[in-house]
Chain A
Amino acid sequence: MNVLPAGGPLSHNSMSTAIKVLPVDNPSESALSLARPLTIAVAGNPNAGKTSLFNSLTGLRQKVANYPGVTVESKSGQWSLSPELPPARLIDLPGLYSLDTTSLDEEIARDILLGQAAAIAKPDVIVVVVDATNLVRNLYLATQLIETGQPIVLALTMFDLAERSQLKIDVEKLGAALGVAVVPVVAKRHRGVAELAQAVLAAVKRGAPQSAREFESLGKSDSQRRTNLIRRYALIERIVSDSVVATDDGKAGLSERIDRVVTHRFLGPIILLLVMLLVFQAIFSWANLPMNLIDYLFGALGEAVRANFPPGVFTDLLCDGIIAGVGGVLAFLPQILLLFLFISILEDSGYMARAAFLMDRLMRAVGLHGKAFVPLLSSFACAVPGIMATRTIENPKDRIATIMIAPFMSCSARLPVYTLMIAAFFSGQKVFGFISMGALIILGMYLLGIAVAIVVAWILKRTILNAPPPPFVMELPPYRVPNFGNVAHALLTRSSVFIKRAGTVILSISILLWVLVAFPRAGSSTPAPAGTVVVSESSNNQIQNSFAGRAGRVIEPLIAPLGFDWKIGVGLISSFAARETIISTLSIVYNVGSNGDNKSSSLVDALRNAKRTDGSPVWTPLTGLSLMIFFLLACQCMSTVAIVRRETNSWRWPLFMVGYMLVLAYVASLVTYQGGRLLGFS
């Protein structure tokens, strides 16, 4: 392994094959003391192995946050460069191809690299990750960064793959030509990590290169950028041809041979369908066991607390507000973990880009980008990460159109509502004697959501988001065996992000709802003294007079045409915070205890037996269907609204989204209920 002491600028090489640099006035400015922790940025092209290297350097000492003001995730961790020094802060930047950026991700990475980010200090050293199997293109960004005059170390990843594919890279020669240290690394096996640390320390001690060049492409006209670009590639080609010997055996690469099957005209779509089927099977079937277990445990915990604490407001808050809320949050974890397990495996293996490749033509028919496929697929678990994943879409109008339709993908929070309705009104029914009615209805809900999304996207792209078809330029990275560490890290990150961001919202809503239902106390306008049992056999009166009950009755005339009474109204109001809360709200409203889960027989019975004042049942299969459609189409999710607000940086889009989805849901429910009655259903 070669670690180069990077030489002074150009002392050893001809000007024609080296990066040209000009002197700067004040070289001592960046001479750094090593007593304070260093800030080191990891930059590189997408798919260059940046994340693997980052994980390998930091291990588990990393945290995820958002860059101030935007929702691009910033991953940072601690890297012990040497035992004598405080660990350095390592920042994993979003991948970028060039400092001339085209997407939000890239813009943020560039601003940090150039020290233009408001709240983040300019990094002391930049570790540029360069894929050894794809040197020329990767060096485009690397040479741009070298020219900024900041201390740079080049980490040459995939070095083992390059060796195997008959690429002989003269690391010393490459480093000399570029004027920086070049360290070959194999992140998975931890090879080259110690050498990288040494090279980083050497770069810090040396300070910025004694010279820097005026950054040539930013802010220039297109034709100037063009000229610079062609010159830069010519320069890189000379450097690479001097330091790399490639023996091409003429055979198609392994990835290309895999692609012959995976993106095959007929087999490709079939494989994609099977992959999606597997993902769905996992989310909806395998996740059930741990979810039921969590439900059961929190139910038992609630009962135990109720049995052992004196009855009163505090105990009610603990059981119905806090324990039920925490359980409600954690019950989603298995689904989210499984979805992200698949997404990160698909992403890490290189399949995700193929899915976008296969789907682009279809997505374009509605005016969207193939890259929208991944965020939309993720939205089937939860729109929040799905909307966050739209960041990879460069065109802002495309991105907003994708965000606007993401909530139509039936997310996992709707499932409890669907399953409750099916358990109550469609259980045991079969179509053609063997297809379960429930499965058919759930499938119908998913398909309806997709159909509505297509229509809405089509309309949006022709009206307020009208723009020419966006470019589709996407790398198809080579297939790789997914890196177990990367997948595990992604899972850890995702679940902690979910618990922190969505969890806190759901928990606070759960407590707020409890307050809305428990206060004001029945018969008085002020809270009753501690010691009164809130949810009891006779608590119907309590609910009618509570804040929630009053609100439910206020909107009752409005929702009556949809087949809903005021109790469902209370559920609707509460579910505008998060869809699944309607289950616990209905449990409270129907006095079956708020720990009732979606399969709880008591809640199902309560729904079946609920009567209107005239004695007719409140709930019919048609009411259930109407409610399911309302839940499918309305944007009842505070977390989604919050994330859209942050992603679009204005209240305009989230408010528009809530508004148009609510209208759509109302109309669709109305048509379902009234139309169903006209057709003679009940």
Chain B
Amino acid sequence: MTLDTIPRDVAARVASVETSGPHGLRLMEMGVVPGALVRVVKSAPLGDPIQVCVRNYHLALRRTEAQSITVTIGEE
């Protein structure tokens, strides 16, 4: 599943990041690399963008960007 579809406050692990555009690499440079733990904190009042916690800091990204991040849940 992708990061935009997982429920809030559930620990997930990044499986892969689609890096077709320049922002894909930027996301990875900011620590969203395969294997990293992520958690969706909330979405903005209008549903988009979303706030995620990764590597102990908070990152805002739009749902379209979150779609490019595949995650897995529940193999802790």
**Given contacts A97-B29, A140-B29, A472-B60, is CB(A357)–CB(B41) below 8 Å?**
no
CB-based contact B55/A358 at 8 Å: no
Contact with B along A133-149 (1 / 0, CB 8 A): 11011001000000000
Residue of chain A at shortest CB distance from B41: A256
**Given contacts A263-B51, A268-B45, A358-B44, is CB(A229)–CB(B25) below 8 Å?**
yes
Separation of A134 and B23 alpha carbons in the complex (Å) = 21
Option from B31, B45, B49, B59 in Cβ contact (under 8 Å) with A266 = B45
Separation of A569 and B56 alpha carbons in the complex (Å) = 60
A56 at interface, CB cutoff 8 A: no
A255 at interface, CB cutoff 8 A: yes
CB-based contact B22/A136 at 8 Å: no
Q: Which chain A residues lie closer than 8 Å to B28 at the CB level?
A: 226, 229-230, 233
Q: Which chain B residues lie closer than 8 Å to A265 at the CB level?
A: 45
Minimum Cβ distance to chain B for residue A463 (Å): 23
**Given contacts A266-B45, A361-B44, A476-B58, is CB(A233)–CB(B31) below 8 Å?**
yes
Minimum Cβ distance to chain A for residue B8 (Å): 12
B64 at interface, CB cutoff 8 A: yes
CB-based contact A360/B21 at 8 Å: no
A353 at interface, CB cutoff 8 A: yes
CB-based contact A229/B29 at 8 Å: yes
**Given contacts A137-B30, A471-B21, A473-B23, is CB(A263)–CB(B42) below 8 Å?**
yes
CB-based contact B65/A471 at 8 Å: yes
A469 at interface, CB cutoff 8 A: yes
Minimum Cβ distance to chain A for residue B42 (Å): 7
Q: Which chain A residues lie closer than 8 Å to B62 at the CB level?
A: 360, 364, 469, 471-472
Number of interface residues of A (CB under 8 A): 42
Residue of chain B at shortest CB distance from A264: B45
Contact with A along B35-76 (1 / 0, CB 8 A): 010000110111111010101111111101100000000000
B5 at interface, CB cutoff 8 A: no
B27 at interface, CB cutoff 8 A: yes
Residue of chain A at shortest CB distance from B51: A476
Separation of A97 and B62 alpha carbons in the complex (Å) = 19
CB-based contact B47/A361 at 8 Å: yes
Query: Of B29, B34, B61, which is in contact with the most chain A CB atoms at under 10 Å from its CB?
Result: B29
**Given contacts A255-B58, A472-B65, is CB(A97)–CB(B26) below 8 Å?**
yes
Residue of chain A at shortest CB distance from B36: A233
Separation of A208 and B76 alpha carbons in the complex (Å) = 44
B33 at interface, CB cutoff 8 A: yes
Query: Of A370, A474, A475, A477, which is in contact with the most chain B CB atoms at under 10 Å from its CB?
Result: A474
CB-based contact B58/A475 at 8 Å: yes
A259 at interface, CB cutoff 8 A: yes
CB-based contact B59/A136 at 8 Å: no
CB-based contact A472/B33 at 8 Å: no
Q: Which chain A residues lie closer than 8 Å to B34 at the CB level?
A: 230
CB-based contact B22/A98 at 8 Å: no
A172 at interface, CB cutoff 8 A: no
CB neighbors of B among A596-653 (8 A):
none
Q: Which chain A residues lie closer than 8 Å to B30 at the CB level?
A: 97, 137, 473, 475
Minimum Cβ distance to chain B for residue A161 (Å): 12
**Given contacts A357-B60, A360-B62, A469-B64, is CB(A137)–CB(B55) below 8 Å?**
yes
Q: Which chain A residues lie closer than 8 Å to B48 at the CB level?
A: 360-361, 364
Separation of A3 and B54 alpha carbons in the complex (Å) = 30
A269 at interface, CB cutoff 8 A: yes
CB-based contact A133/B56 at 8 Å: yes
**Given contacts A137-B31, A233-B33, A360-B62, is CB(A222)–CB(B25) below 8 Å?**
yes
CB-based contact A100/B65 at 8 Å: no
Residue of chain B at shortest CB distance from A474: B60
A429 at interface, CB cutoff 8 A: no
Option from B31, B49, B58 in Cβ contact (under 8 Å) with A472 = B49
CB neighbors of B among A451-484 (8 A):
469, 471-478
The 7 A-B residue pairs whose C-beta atoms are closest, nearest first, are: A471-B23, A361-B46, A476-B58, A98-B29, A472-B62, A137-B31, A474-B60
Report which B residues bind A (CB closer than 8 A). 19, 21-23, 25-31, 33-34, 36, 41-42, 44-49, 51, 53, 55-62, 64-65
Q: List 26 A-B contacts (CB under 8 A).
A: A100-B29, A102-B23, A134-B55, A136-B31, A137-B30, A137-B55, A226-B19, A226-B25, A226-B28, A229-B33, A230-B33, A233-B31, A233-B33, A256-B41, A263-B51, A357-B44, A357-B49, A361-B48, A362-B46, A364-B62, A370-B60, A471-B61, A471-B62, A471-B65, A473-B60, A474-B59
User: Apart from A230-B34, A476-B58, what are 8 other A-B pairs with CB-CB below 8 Å?
Assistant: A98-B26, A134-B56, A136-B56, A140-B29, A140-B31, A263-B44, A471-B65, A475-B58
